[in-house]
Each structure stands twice: as structure tokens, then as C-alpha cells.
Amino acid sequence: MSGRIQVALVITELEVGGAERCLAQIASGLDSSRFAPIVYSLAARPLGDRASLVQQLEHASVPVRYVDVRAAWQLGTAVKRLRRLLAEQQPRVVQTFLFHANVVGTLAARGLCRRPRVPRGEDACGLVQGERVADPSWFRQAVERRTSVCADKIVCVSRSVAEYCAVRLRVAPNKLVVIPNGIELEAYTGVPPAELSEFGLSAGRRAIVFVGRLHCQKGLDWLLSFAPRLLERLPEHDLLLVGDGPQRPQLEAFVRSLGLAGRVHFAGWSPRVPQILRASDVCVLPSRWEGMPNVLLEAMAVGLPIVSTRAHGVEELLGTVADPQSVAFGDVEGFLCRVWQVAANREFGSELGRQNRERVQRQFSRQAMLRAYEDLYASLVTP
């Protein structure tokens, strides 16, 4: 249809993850009578089951283009390729997601610390950057402090991330927009539980589950440091770690050194996270930093109790039931106590899970998220 707003959505890669899932929800859910999205991935198309988000986009008839760079040192190549692709699309809005896409997308669309228009004749193009985590890296903060100057708006997934942007990245408050992640609750309703034996748990064992990237950010090294005490208190439970990442070899070696190879199970990446969550007693997230962790939204959507560190966005997600489900990072005794309370007392855990699901239903719907992005995009092209 003519007259639709062309929107370019730029992301680092399209393997399944929180930011990637959010982008797919936006691209496939925007009002097709008003918006025409195209997705750009800096990385190549993912393979096998990891291409499920690409398949979702293709099913929704959303075009996907691949810049196809494979290393950070190819920054110049990535910028040139993306600039050429954007010139072909001539978007009215460019939205970037995640650090590498924020940098490359900004350089391709506008040029660092200046405001030329995207190659599109006399038509202006609005640039939106997405900030999804409060990253403590001084290098990344320094880079994004500079690129954020070029953005018209910066979308933050939580109020705490917006505060981080204002203080650490020195972004003007009028540039910041808070749009929380949303979730389609119906997709998590009536999901059958996975068979935990598929992941190495013996018959009758109960699961304490972690889902996420095996990376320093997620704090699994900290969690495993007191896993012997945790599992001693909960003799019927095992710890199930779902996901892959750069820390996996070290974490596996650490588990073996603790003598816990039979109680801590590495499931690897799985496309069946809702089913695994449904089969578990509690979802744990020991992160050092976050923004608004999608896995907690998923756990809440299936009615699961949570024990998390109070990383950015966690208390905003949990609301009035944050205290019995969260502690400060480093509070070993508090984390142990809360996991024991919800895992050993099923009635208490079920009540927290019920309240979590109700909160997601009230506050974090997919439709509310989509309407907020549509309003933002429309505001950038309205004279």
C-alpha cells in the first residue's frame, strides 16, 4: 500500500534472544496499513532451529536483509553495506537494537556526531536507538555516549535503564522514551510441561531452572559458588541451566570441581523454553546487570515463581511481589532463603506464580508495547 511509513529495524543478529524476540514482535505486529517494516541483521542468517524468529518474520511477510559481517573489525564494511541497503529502502524511521547495531546503524544512517539525512532526497529520517541493558562496560558507555548524540529518540525498556542513560550516557531527558517489553500471554497459556528427563534429570527430580546466555552478565559463576548449599537444602531438586554462551566450558569445569555433575544439568540452547519453564518449580536469574529480562516475563506468563537479583528492570517487572522474589547481587543468604521458600513450599510458590501471571496480564501486554512503538514512529515523521 502507498503512504505507509517505511521502518528499518536493525539488529546485531537474529538468533533467539530477548532483544531479537522483541524486534520480531514489533516487525510482525505493526499495523500493516500504516507501517512497512524491513529487518536488517548485521550477522548472517542463523541456522536450523535457531532461525525460528526469521521464520516468524517470513511468515508475517516481513522482508529480512543480511549485512553478513562476521567480526567486529569489519565495522567499516558493515556501515557501507547497511548504508547501501538503507538507501535502497529509503526509510522514514531507522530503529536499532543492541550495542553493535546501535553503533553501525547510527553511522550508516546519520554519521557520527553530525546529522545528515539518510540518502533519500529531501525527506528526513528519524533515528531511534534501543537501550536494553545498563551495561557497566566503560568502553561501551563511551561509544554510546557519542552515538546517542545522533539519535532523535532513545527507547529504554525500563525506568531504571532510562536513569542509566541520563546519568551514564548523559542523554537529554527529552530524548528518552520508556517502552517496557511486552509478551503475548495466550502463547504461554496451556503450554504442556517438558519431560525433564530429556535434559538429564532422573525420574521424579524437580527443577530449579535458569534460562539465558552463559555469560558473565548472568552471574552463574556466583550462583554456582553456593550451589552446594542450595542443593543440600533442597535434596529433591536439581539445577537446570538452559542456554549457551562463552562461559559454558568454565562453568561445566566448575560444576565438576564441586562434585555436582549429577545435580547441575547443562541443557544447551532450546526452542522449548515455555515448556521447560512449565515443568520447573522456580526460575532463577542471578544477573549482575540487566535492563528488563525477557526470561522473567516468560516465567511470569506461565505462572512460575522467580528468584532474581535486583538488576535493572527486575523490581519494575515484579511490582508489589518483588521483595519475596528478589535480592541484591551478592546477598547469598537472601538468595538461598528465597529459593528455599518457593521451591520447598509449593503453595507459597504457586501463589507467587499466580500473582506474577496476573501482573503480566495487566502491565506487559504485547499490544500495549506495539501501540507505544507505533505512536513513537508516527511522531517522528509528523511535521
Give me the amino acid identity at 67: V
Instruction: State how far the Cα of 206 lies from the Cα of 193, in Å rounded to an integer.
Output: 12
* CA quadruple 134, 139, 140, 145: dihedral sign: positive
Give me the amino acid identity at 127: L
Strand partners, 178: 156
Residue 66 φ then ψ, to 5°: -115, 120
Instruction: State how far the Cα of 231 lies from the Cα of 171, in Å rounded to an integer.
Output: 44
User: Are 373 and 30 spatial neighbours (Cβ–Cβ below 8 Å)?
Assistant: yes
Instruction: Quote the cell numbers at residue 290.
Output: 540487566
Cell 506495539: give the residue.
370
**C-alpha 328 chain-centroid distance:** 21
Residue 19 φ then ψ, to 5°: -65, -40
Helices 366-381 & 18-29 angle (0-180, nearest 10): 70
pTM of the model as a whole: 0.89
Strand partners, 264: 239
Residue 120 φ then ψ, to 5°: -165, 45
In degrees, to the nearest 5, what angle opens at C-alpha 80 toward C-alphas 78 and 85?
A: 95
Q: What pLDDT, on the 0 to 100 scale, is given for residue 116? A: 44
Q: What pLDDT, on the 0 to 100 scale, is given for residue 2? A: 58
Query: What is the chain's pLDDT, residue by residue, as a tens digit (383 residues)?
Result: 458 999 999 999 999 888 999 999 999 999 999 999 999 999 999 988 889 999 999 999 999 999 998 877 788 899 999 999 998 888 999 999 999 999 999 999 974 334 444 444 345 679 999 998 888 889 999 999 999 999 999 999 999 999 999 999 999 999 999 999 999 988 898 899 999 999 999 999 999 999 999 999 999 999 999 999 999 999 999 999 999 999 999 999 999 999 999 999 999 999 899 999 999 999 999 999 999 999 999 999 999 999 999 999 999 999 999 999 999 999 999 999 999 999 999 999 999 999 999 999 999 999 999 999 999 999 998 76
Three-class DSSP category at 243: strand
**Minimal CA–CA distance to 91: which of 68, 72, 114, 65?**
65
Domains of the chain listed by start with CATH number: 5-182+365-381 (3.40.50.2000), 186-363 (3.40.50.2000)
Three-class DSSP category at 36: strand
Q: What pLDDT, on the 0 to 100 scale, is given for residue 124? A: 66
Instruction: State how far the Cα of 352 lies from the Cα of 324, in Å rounded to an integer.
Output: 9
